[in-house]
Structure formats: structure tokens, C-alpha cells
């Protein structure tokens, strides 16, 4: 039946295609989709959902597949719906400063389009060359400039999605103000493909920022990261406040053959980005951090190229440690709790797993820490993963004690669904299941992701 709706080139069933489109960047799951389809229009997506309902066939929506929580993994004969062929910018309104994209538009294509209009799409991350807008919306992607510009959610002024009832939902249509009750747009944002297949998104654009400067500051003690954040936030318009540990720096320098930014290594580094016009006051802020004993050294970009090479030290970390098949976690607490949380986790790992190394980095200005534990050399991947899994409840209990989130930006997917209760109450999970049943009565939209399939 699908052959009547789609052309042959829009359906792939060969082994290479199943392996490629059947997974995202998460490792460790079986990859076994039955086929991959590449719709080109909203109508075709509706037909695909109808086909799936008729056969009770689960669908897995697939964007740029850069996710790290298994949200786009197809493990048991699902039909993968790739948005690779729905990759057009459909409309632009200069008066509204709004662009309409199909779900498969790449993040950096949108960013470039905005610049071409003398405008700016500020949500940015290392995977901007591969990630797609639909996936960004489905996971409410964050990234490196949330401290100044917010999350993907803050830029979505409308979207179209096909629900599990094979109906097209047109949410908000680009309005800034709309006080007519429940805003389904915000339910779809971050729903991880469980409520609807997002096909089109209306996004707000803004004025491009002035030229930016990047400073890397060496900070010997974790508690002083927040003092440095405070003096820089007071003095400058901070666009990013990122951090990484010396171990993370060591790994990225080795992998990418980069030079460390400071003469001597320090326990932690903050990467701070701010408006060029704030350069003088940034120096003053650094002097203050120095005399307070919070910072020891710093380097500042003198050109756009230097700014980019300083950014590479932070943005290259994730790929540099992939070879260690790390036990990965992406958590958040309130900013003031970051140092004591980090120290508690470090203490726990040292006491219980002395041969494990914790590689810390993340978006500290948002309270978001990427906790990666590197697999010791010689330890079998399966054994290491089992140990990581056993460690999760302990770490999540530390998150829950602070009312933090077990997934700050990567989503729940398959990876964290059994731990959702550490961040969301029974009442909330119950309401989530109710919404899922309403939007997806046949349980065909990414079943088993976010919420467990059996009880959904």
C-alpha cells in the first residue's frame, strides 16, 4: 500500500540503510527497523501514519540522528520515518521576522539563512551541521547559548504535526500572542516523537549579536566557578558560560591535536563568550577574579579564528571521548548547587569505583553538567556498561535530592525512561500517559521512548 503513496526512491530496506537510519549517536541498542521511508509532504506523512495504524506498526521519527538517549533507535521492526527529504525552507516573513522550515532542514542551514536576511537564529550546538530542526523541536534542544537566548522552545512560534490519529495539527501558526487555552505547540516541543510527527516549524529570528570575544579562564577550585560566573555576568553581556575539567581538555587536545590554552594546567576552565564592546570590563572582571583568588590565568581571543579555536576545545570534547565508550549522563541542578553536586558525585565515584575517571564539562551557566565516566583501559564494554547502569540510581538520587533533572538537554528516550521517576512525580507521569493515549490512541508513535510502552 505504501508503494502507492511513495515512490520507490522514498523507501529503503537494504541492510546498509536499515543500519544507518535505524539509530542515532547512542550506542548499545539493537538496531532492527523493518524499513525506512522518506516522505516529501505533510500528506505523505498522514498516509504513512494511516498505514501504520491499519497494521499496528510502530513508527520511529528520525531527524539528524545526533541524539544521545536512543530517541531515534528502532530496535524491533519499526518503520523509521526520516525527514531527510523534507528539507526546505518554505516561507520567510521579514515583517514578522519569522521563518517556516520543514522538519528536515539542518540547524546550520537555518542559521545561514537567517544571516543572509541580516537576522539570527541563536540556538546552537556542536552538531549544528547534522541535526535537523524537527529533531531539535522534538527534544527541545539547548546547546551553548541558552544563558543568553534560551532553548529551542523559546523560538518556536508555530508548528504542524501529524498525531497518532493521522490528523494534522496546526499549532499557533506564528502568532506572538494567543490566549485561547491549551497551547499544543508546547506539548509537542520536547515530546520526543511520542505525541506527533513534527513536519513543519515556524521559528522566530532576532537581531544578530555584535562581534563576540571568547575568554578561557583557569579556575583551580570548583566552588569558584560560580564566583567567576557572577563577576562576568555583572560586568558583561554573557552569551555563553561553559566549563570543562583538565581531563576533558587533555582528551580533546590529544584527539584533535590542539594546544592547551594556558601555560599551566588547572583543575577547571571556564569558556566565557561576551560582546566585543565589553572587552575592557571583561578584563576588570578577570582582575577581580584574580585578586579574589578564584582564577589563576586567562587567554582571550584576538580574532574570529582564535575565538573558534578556543571554542573547539569545548565543542570537541564529546567526540574526543567517544572512543572510551563512556557512561554518559546529562543532568541539571540549580546553578548555586552545581559545585556541591559535582563534589558529591566525584566523592561517590572515587570511593566506590577508584579506577573510574570522571570527565566533567557542560553548560555551567545553565546548571547543566555533562557527566561522562571513561571506561578504564582493558575493561570489557558490557561489564563497564553494567557498572554504569548500577551507578545510575545513586547518581539520580543525588539529582532528585536537589529537585534537579536527570536529563537537562539530551532527552529521556530509551536510555532514561526507567529513571523518569527521579525527576517527575507519579501524578505527572500519569498525566503524561493520559496525553499519550489521547494523541496516540493506537500506540504507534515512538512507543517505548520517554514512557515505558507496556503501561502506556
Sequence-distant (6+) residues with CB within 8 A of 454 are none
Q: How far is the CB of 152 from ligand 2HG (least distance, A)?
A: 13
Cβ-based nearer residue to ligand 2HG, 44 or 329: 329
Q: How far is the CB of 316 from ligand 2HG (least distance, A)?
A: 9
- Contact between 282 and ligand 2HG (CB under 6 A)? no
SS3 state at 161:
strand
CA distance 146 to 5: 41
Say which DSSP state 455 is in: T
Cα 208 to Cα 37, 118, 122, 212, 280, distances in angstroms: 37, 7, 8, 11, 22
Residue number of the CB closest to ligand 2HG reads 318
Sequence-distant (6+) residues with CB within 8 A of 179 are none
CA distance 230 to 388: 34
Cβ-based nearer residue to ligand 2HG, 121 or 360: 360
Binding-site member from 236, 239, 337, 372 for ligand 2HG (CB under 6 A): 372
Cβ-based nearer residue to ligand 2HG, 162 or 238: 238
Q: How far is the CB of 86 from ligand 2HG (least distance, A)?
A: 25
Q: How far is the CB of 321 from ligand 2HG (least distance, A)?
A: 8
Sequence-distant (6+) residues with CB within 8 A of 287 are none
Cβ-based nearer residue to ligand 2HG, 328 or 375: 328
- Contact between 66 and ligand 2HG (CB under 6 A)? no
Contacts with ligand 2HG by CB under 6 A: the residue count is 7
Binding-site member from 23, 65, 213, 328 for ligand 2HG (CB under 6 A): 328
Cβ-based nearer residue to ligand 2HG, 42 or 318: 318
Place of cell 571506561: 375
CB 227 within 8 A of CB 174: no
The values of phi and psi at residue 258, to 5°, are -110, 160
Q: How far is the CB of 137 from ligand 2HG (least distance, A)?
A: 17
Binding-site member from 12, 98, 251, 370 for ligand 2HG (CB under 6 A): 370
Question: Beta partners for 201?
Answer: 101, 159
Q: Is the dihedral of CA 363, 153, 319, 446 positive or negative?
A: positive
Burial class (CB in 10 A: 0-12, 13-18, 19+), 380: exposed
> Per-residue contact track with ligand 2HG, 68 to 87, x per CB under 6 A?
x-------------------
Cβ-based nearer residue to ligand 2HG, 68 or 225: 68
What Rg value do the Cα atoms of the chain yield, rounded? 22
SS3 state at 201:
strand
Q: According to CB under 6 A, which residues from 296 to 325 bind ligand 2HG?
A: 318
- Contact between 107 and ligand 2HG (CB under 6 A)? no
Cβ-based nearer residue to ligand 2HG, 92 or 419: 419
CA distance 300 to 274: 11
Binding-site member from 6, 126, 171, 222 for ligand 2HG (CB under 6 A): 126
Q: Which candidate, 367, 379, 363, 364, places its Cα nearest to that of 327? A: 379
Cβ-based nearer residue to ligand 2HG, 126 or 266: 126
Q: How far is the CB of 309 from ligand 2HG (least distance, A)?
A: 17
CA distance 141 to 153: 8
Cβ-based nearer residue to ligand 2HG, 360 or 439: 360
Question: Beta partners for 363?
Answer: 368
Q: How far is the CB of 157 from ligand 2HG (least distance, A)?
A: 25
Q: How far is the CB of 143 from ligand 2HG (least distance, A)?
A: 7
- Contact between 251 and ligand 2HG (CB under 6 A)? no
Cβ-based nearer residue to ligand 2HG, 131 or 191: 131
> Which residues of this chain interact with ligand 2HG, rule CB under 6 A?
68, 126, 318, 328, 330, 370, 372
Amino acid at each position: 500500500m505504501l508503494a502507492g503513496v511513495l515512490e520507490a526512491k522514498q523507501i529503503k530496506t537494504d541492510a546498509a540503510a536499515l543500519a544507518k537510519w535505524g539509530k542515532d549517536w547512542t550506542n548499545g541498542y539493537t538496531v532492527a527497523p523493518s524499513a525506512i521511508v522518506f516522505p516529501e509532504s505533510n500528506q505523505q506523512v498522514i498516509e504513512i501514519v494511516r498505514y501504520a495504524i491499519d497494521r499496528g506498526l510502530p513508527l520511529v521519527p528520525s531527524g539528524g540522528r545526533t541524539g544521545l538517549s536512543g530517541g531515534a533507535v528502532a530496535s524491533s521492526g519499526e518503520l523509521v520515518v526520516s525527514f531527510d527529504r523534507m528539507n526546505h525552507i518554505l516561507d520567510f516573513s521579514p515583517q514578522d521576522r519569522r521563518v517556516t522550515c520543514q522538519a528536515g532542514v539542518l540547524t546550520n542551514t537555518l542559521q545561514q539563512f537567517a544571516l543572509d536576511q541580516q537576522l539570527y537564529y541563536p540556538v546552537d550546538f556542536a552538531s549544528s551541521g547534522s541535526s535537523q530542526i524537527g529533531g531539535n523541536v522534538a527534544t527541545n534542544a539547548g546547546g551553548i547559548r541558552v544563558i543568553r537566548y534560551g532553548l529551542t522552545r523559546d523560538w518556536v512560534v508555530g508548528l504542524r504535526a501529524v498525531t497518532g490519529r493521522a490528523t494534522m495539527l496546526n499549532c499557533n501558526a506564528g502568532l506572538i500572542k494567543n490566549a485561547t487555552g491549551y497551547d499544543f505547540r508546547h506539548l509537542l516541543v520536547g515530546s520526543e516523537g511520542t505525541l506527533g510527527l513534527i513536519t513543519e516549524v515556524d521559528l522566530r529570528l532576532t537581531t544578530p549579536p555584535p562581534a563576540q570575544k571568547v575568554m578561557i579562564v583557569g579556575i583551580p577550585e570548583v566552588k569558584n566557578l560560580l564566583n567567576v560566573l557572577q563577576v562576568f555576568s555583572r560586568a558583561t553581556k554573557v552569551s555563553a558560560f561553559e566549563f570543562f575539567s583538565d581531563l576533558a581538555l587533555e582528551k580533546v587536545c590529544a584527539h584533535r591535536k590542539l594546544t592547551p590554552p594556558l601555560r599551566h594546567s588547572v583543575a577547571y576552565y571556564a569558556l566565557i563568550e561576551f560582546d566585543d564592546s565589553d572587552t575592557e570590563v571583561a578584563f576588570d572582571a578577570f582582575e577581580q577574579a584574580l585578586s579574589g583568588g578564584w582564577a589563576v590565568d586567562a587567554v582571550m581571543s584576538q580574532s574570529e579564528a582564535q575565538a573558534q579555536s578556543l571554542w573547539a576545545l569545548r565543542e570537541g570534547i564529546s567526540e574526543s571521548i567517544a572512543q572510551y565508550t563512556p557512561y554518559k549522563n546529562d543532568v541539571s541542578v540549580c546553578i548555586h548547587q552545581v559545585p556541591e553536586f559535582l563534589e558529591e558525585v566525584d566523592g561517590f565515584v572515587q570511593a566506590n569505583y577508584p579506577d573510574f575517571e570522571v570527565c566533567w564539562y557542560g553548560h555551567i551557566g545553565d546548571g547543566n553538567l555533562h557527566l561522562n565516566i571513561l571506561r578504564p583501559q582493558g575493561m570489557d564494554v558490557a561489564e563497564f556498561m553494567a557498572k554504569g547502569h548500577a551507578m545510575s540510581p545513586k547518581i539520580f538520587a543525588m539529582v532528585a535530592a536537589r529537585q534537579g533533572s536527570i536529563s537537562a538537554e539530551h532527552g529521556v528516550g530509551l536510555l532514561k525512561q526507567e529513571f523518569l521517576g527521579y525527576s517527575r512525580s507519579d501524578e505527572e507521569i500519569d498525566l503524561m500517559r493520559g496525553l499519550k493515549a489521547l494523541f496516540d490512541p493506537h500506540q504507534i508513535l515512538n512507543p517505548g521512548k520517554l514512557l515505558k510502552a507496556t503501561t502506556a
